A and B are shown apart, each in its own frame.
Chain A
Amino acid sequence: MGSYKLINLAFKSITRNKMRSLLTMLGIIIGVASVISLVSIGNGAKADVEKQVASLGTNLIIIHTSRSKTGGVRGGSESLDTLDLNDYKLLKEKATAISGISPVIKEQCQVIASATNWNTSIYGVSPDYLSVCNFSVESGEFFTQRDVKAMSKVAVVGKTVVDELFADQNPIGKKIRIRNVPFRIIGVLAEKGQSGMGTDQDDVILAPSTTVLYRLGNGKTVRTIMASAVTPEKMTDARTQITTILRASHRLSAGQENDFRIRDQTEINNMATGVTGTLTVLLSAIAGVSLLVGGIGVMNIMLVSVTERTREIGIRMAVGARGIDILLQFLVEAVILSLIGGIVGVVTGLGLAFLMGNILGTSVVMTGSVIIYTTLFTGAVGVFFGFYPARKAANLNPIDALKYE
């Protein structure tokens, strides 16, 4: 029997029991739709996170203070004061594999403008911070190294702060008071949006590191230093240089642990995408299971169909159909049944993904390969679950099939 005739026959049989075929396909449709929608939403979330992490900075290296262990005894909170401005200066002078470096002294303060006030983070940084963390100035200007040296009371503010304190006025030149210290606003940062961790990156005030450290902070502790490697390839070199320089400066002997921690962009990236990645795998597994359940539905209906059509099988055999003809007839029917389910499922899944992406405001990333693999997989489900019923039909004896009531 030609393949055209086989496919024609399968369609006839599928359309003969429309409701039943539809219900059978529903299992596959739900399975495929959930695979497609979950994978595209998962991939979208991953892409979002990657983009956000990339927005944190370029070739970013973050140096944190760390609890130092002395003889196995963990120090108290004072031992967190392991980094200071001197470390920053040393690194800036000596580390050749880094292109920019800035201390980050963070203070959470109530900021008062003439009319209102707002609680936000003040970051004491150096001018390098702009390039290291991918910020840019939208209007006005950023402070310079001179401002840092002079401990100028100037500030550059993020969009959120502008909105909260000045509504639609031009903030440049305006005064704000932070812990009773007056600062003059000299610039506004370009909008950056949410970070991968969900914090608002525009809810910041940047001021010279020295000003923040001595006027607002304790005048000593620098919790974080951020740097960027010259190129992504130099990342490891940069880490090694930083480690060597800091260990020497902290006079750590060979056996002692580092009293600081270094993380870089790839680690942050992996950490952030790891969660969404695991989630995607988990959801896909659940979706895959529902696809299997759909396959069992196909098998069930094919078994019913074989039983119902036993006489037909007998008649076909009586006029010369070989076992393989009968096998193919039912197999093609099962495969077409699941393929139609698969195709409808792909379309439904894509629709669902875009709908959910719209509602949740996340990206939806669909790759052609996922669509193709899922469709092929449904075909395989058809073959796998259709084979047993089809073989059962093919193995019937002509006379038994003909006499079947």
Chain B
Amino acid sequence: MHTIELKKINKEYAMGDVVVRALKNVSLTIGQGEFIAVMGTSGSGKSTLMNILGCLDLAGGGDYFIEGVHVNKMSKKKLADIRNEKIGFVFQGFNLLARTTAIENVELPLFYERGRSGGNIRDKALAALKQVGLGNRLHHEPNQLSGGQQQRVAIARALVNSPSIIFADEPTGNLDSQTTVEILSLFQELNDRGITIVLVTHEQDVSLYAKRIIEMRDGEIIKDEKVLERKNAFEELALSGSGKTRLTLMSAAGGKF
């Protein structure tokens, strides 16, 4: 059973008389523990694909299976539960709740948990924030955080309920190279623990931290290949000597996922 299976997915947007075909018969399978980078020019349909994968949007045609479950046939309620339990989504524009502290933002998915996985909500959120190195910014509101810090809060929110898949739409889009590597190091570590990761990026360099690269153009997958020389963010950070405190912290919290 594949973690994700897309069969001939279509998506059209009607803009008055003009119909934009954002996805054209996209088929794709993703196995458990993969780390995929989705590349492509602007407007090629990456975000559209991610939104469908993340169960935020419904495909216009085709079939989508997530861990063998047919997404197209699910009720809105069930889709909400899938988003809550299986998926962590990191948005291009952070999408944090305004005037709400970092820790409260991270707690959000836990409030909608049905099965009550047990454990204290605040403790879990705290652990997630520490994982992303923001243990000292708990009560900052989004407008009191830098872009990179906001993105890390968004990542903490995506991983707080231990999802099996994380979708990240340009998570490093507006970050400097140092922060980018830090965040990629985080993704690589999460991936090492078995979480499937799909991230969208424009930068060739970023895609090299993934295990597999998919390239899109005009709503179609035109290239799908393995990364031969994979980069290791952890080592890079260790070599440059920066971000050390965070890494030690992370190792201390090791095995949390």
Contacts and interface: CB of A to CB of B under 8 A. Distances in A.
Contacts of B89: 318-319
Contacts of B80: 317, 320-323
Given A1-B111, A1-B112, A325-B112, A315 B95 contact: yes
A322 B77 contact: yes
A402 B95 contact: yes
Nearest to A1: B111
A398 interface: yes
A399 interface: yes
B26 to A, nearest CB: 17
B57 A312 contact: no
A358 B131 CA distance: 67
Given A16-B99, A312-B97, A319 B108 contact: yes
Contacts of B99: 16
A316 B108 contact: yes
B136 to A, nearest CB: 24
A311 interface: yes
Interface residues of A, number: 22
Among A2, A5, A322, the one with the most B-chain Cβ atoms within 10 Å of its Cβ is: A322
B1 interface: no
Interface string A1-42: 110010000000000100000000000000000000000000
Contacts of A316: 108, 112
Contact of B83 (A2, A311, A320): A320
Interface in B54-86: 54, 56-57, 76-77, 80-81, 83-85
Contacts of B81: 320, 322
A103 B71 CA distance: 95
A397 interface: yes
Contacts of A321: 80, 84, 112
Nearest to A395: B76
A362 B113 CA distance: 58
Contact of B109 (A16, A320, A323): A320
Given A1-B112, A311-B95, A402-B91, A320 B85 contact: yes
Top 4 A-B pairs, shortest CB-CB distance: A320-B84, A319-B109, A399-B57, A320-B112
A398 B57 contact: yes
A319 B157 contact: yes
B83 A319 contact: yes
B109 A399 contact: no
Among B91, B98, B111, the one with the most A-chain Cβ atoms within 10 Å of its Cβ is: B111
A129 to B, nearest CB: 79
B198 to A, nearest CB: 16
B27 interface: no
A324 B114 CA distance: 13
16 contacts: A1-B112, A2-B111, A316-B112, A318-B54, A318-B83, A318-B91, A319-B83, A319-B84, A319-B108, A319-B157, A321-B84, A322-B76, A322-B77, A397-B57, A399-B51, A399-B57
Nearest to B76: A323
Contacts of B161: 320
Contact of A399 (B56, B96, B157): B56
Contacts of B157: 319
Contacts of B51: 399
Contacts of A317: 56, 80, 83
A311 B157 CA distance: 16
A311 B95 CA distance: 8
A136 B27 CA distance: 104
Among A314, A319, A397, the one with the most B-chain Cβ atoms within 10 Å of its Cβ is: A319
Nearest to B84: A320
Contacts of A311: 95
Interface string A388-405: 000000000111001000
B113 A320 contact: yes
B52 to A, nearest CB: 9
Given A319-B84, A324-B77, 20 more contacts: A16-B99, A315-B96, A316-B108, A317-B56, A318-B91, A319-B108, A319-B109, A320-B84, A320-B112, A321-B80, A321-B84, A321-B112, A322-B76, A322-B77, A322-B112, A323-B77, A325-B112, A397-B57, A399-B51, A399-B57
Interface in B190-246: none
Interface string A129-154: 00000000000000000000000000
Contacts of A323: 76-77, 80
Contacts of A397: 57
A400 to B, nearest CB: 9
